[in-house]
Structure 1
């Protein structure tokens, strides 16, 4: 299956951002993709007050994403914010398109490196997978990449691919951590990992927001053996990748880490 990863820089206005998604989705369709994956916070960048822009899954912004999917014939995965209790929002991935209608609320919140996502965002609790052209695909978001059990849960649910939209926080060593963690998660679960980050705002000519995680770029497709198959730099770009599920079968046969697990009994 061919997928497209659209590395872009979104701003604070959901209306402007949807126009960018529409343009990129048509480009992905022209490239023969069956699905296009956009970063976390595609609706509005971090550093924006989130509660005022949050909308339900049946709201107008999500409706525009569905229209993009209908117009292009693609499955579209994009990060948005939905209302949650106590004035907070959920950091939500919407997945929509032919035969697909699902959403995933980010489970692990980015309370690290001096940033507290949990101040404004409520955590999700459900592992979510979707099926595209007969392939099962797991959904994860950004900071989730530090938690290998989620990606193993994707594999246990039958996934051969995990999608990881992100808006990675910049800082010393953060690119190295991003590259190490994405490769490790592919190896942990012996599946394809498609990680799409927001482009570095500086490389897009956009103003950076002080502590807010607004992306560093370096989106990548990682094979089930942990090798980087394709990657981008800091600037906006699109990556088209063909994912072969038979390779997952082959790697799992050679390195059966999922089958070899020994789980300790609860005390």
Structure 2
């Protein structure tokens, strides 16, 4: 299959951002993409109140994404926000060429590095996979990439490619962590991992925000941990070949999914003994 990775910069107007989805999808589809992946918070960037922009999956913004997917004959994954009482859900809309759509709600919330996502965002609970042609694709969002068990669960459900839309927070060492985590999750799951982030915002005030507004450096990694494509910090739309047979080969030769064992409680010595060894 061919995957489009749309490293864009979202603003605060959902209609303007939907036009970004249209333009980038058209470009990627013209280059043969079967799937086009956009960042987390494509609907509206972080750093502003999200409640007023949140819409249900059958609302106009997700419907617009579904229309884009159908118009260009591709699947599209893009980050949005859906209502949930006093909070919102950090949702990925997954739109298919037939105009249908489903959603994934981010499970692990970014309560780290001085940011408290759970104050305004409710967590999801269920991993999601979707079929794109003959390929099973798993989805995860940003901070999810720090949690290996989600990726091995997606792999156990058949995912050969896992896409990770993100709006990564800036800071010392953060880009390096993002790159290492993307490669590590590919090795954990013996799947391709397409980690697609927001580009670095051009507006210096947005860049200076404490909110996670993007660091760029989207990365496609194969199931053996080899980086297939690595972007810089700017806006970039790329389309890349993904040879799913590589995942099949990895799961035979690097059989971590078959070899992993649950460690029963009490197997390891207690902490005091371990510190004395």
Report the TM-score when normalising by structure 2.
0.93
Where does 1:69-80 land on structure 2 (aligned, <5 Å)?
69-80=69-80
Compute the displacement of 1:265 (Å).
4.1
1:90 counterpart SS class: strand
Where does 1:100-179 land on structure 2 (aligned, <5 Å)?
101-179=101-179
- The runs of 5 or more residues in structure 2 that have no matched partner are 267-277
1:227 partnered with 2:226? yes
Provide Cα deviations, 1:64-96, integer angstroms capped at 9, x if missing partner.
1111111111101000000012x1000000001
The structure-2 alpha-carbon separation of the partners of 1:179 and 1:32, relative to structure 1 and needing over 3 Å to count, comes to same
The structure-2 alpha-carbon separation of the partners of 1:196 and 1:56, relative to structure 1 and needing over 3 Å to count, comes to same
1:17 counterpart SS class: helix
Give the Cα–Cα distance (whole angstroms) in 2 for the partners of residues 61 and 209 of structure 1: 28
Report the TM-score when normalising by structure 1.
0.96
Computed over aligned residues only, the root mean square deviation of the Cα atoms, in angstroms, reads 1.4
Give the Cα–Cα distance (whole angstroms) in 2 for the partners of residues 29 and 48 of structure 1: 32
Larger radius of gyration: 2
Compute the displacement of 1:206 (Å).
7.7
- The 8 Å contact of residues 38 and 79 in structure 1, kept in 2 or not, is answered as yes
After TM superposition, where is structure 1 displaced by more than 6 Å over at least 4 residues in a row?
A: none
Compute the displacement of 1:209 (Å).
5.0
The structure-2 alpha-carbon separation of the partners of 1:206 and 1:15, relative to structure 1 and needing over 3 Å to count, comes to farther
Give the Cα–Cα distance (whole angstroms) in 2 for the partners of residues 161 and 235 of structure 1: 24
Number of aligned positions between the proteins: 265
1:259 counterpart SS class: helix
Residue equivalent to 2:254 = 255
1:201 counterpart SS class: coil
Where does 1:1-267 land on structure 2 (aligned, <5 Å)?
1-85=1-85, 87-98=86-97, 101-202=101-202, 207-265=206-264
1:211 counterpart SS class: coil
- The 8 Å contact of residues 47 and 209 in structure 1, kept in 2 or not, is answered as no
